Amino acid sequence: MDRSKRTVSAFVLVGAIVIPGVINYFLAQSGFGTLGTIVWALGYGAGVLVLWYVWLRPLDLSGPGRSDLREMDERPDDHSNRPQQGESVANDE
């Protein structure tokens, strides 16, 4: 991991977990426990959304599309024992 990725990871960690946690602590010590919990939950949730938007959203997690499957079916392959379209497969029991 290069230095810029470590820096971004550190900022996300601090921004998403540490800062809302510290704010929650000080609000709870001041008698505003519920407000502190809300601030922590919103900060943590915002951190999760940022992680999703920056790192997970750009990933292509889809399988092959219909056109990809057609191309695979049209390619000659070396599966001579593979049943042809329309043939039934008998159970060898």
Closest to 39 in 3D by CA, of 92, 51, 47? 47
pLDDT tens for the 93 residues of the chain, in order: 678 878 887 888 888 888 999 999 999 999 999 999 999 999 999 988 888 887 888 777 777 676 666 666 566 555 556 666 666 666 554
DSSP 76: -
The whole-angstrom separation of Cα 55 and Cα 15 is: 16
* pTM assigned to the model: 0.54
Closest to 12 in 3D by CA, of 65, 39, 48, 40? 48
The whole-angstrom separation of Cα 54 and Cα 45 is: 14
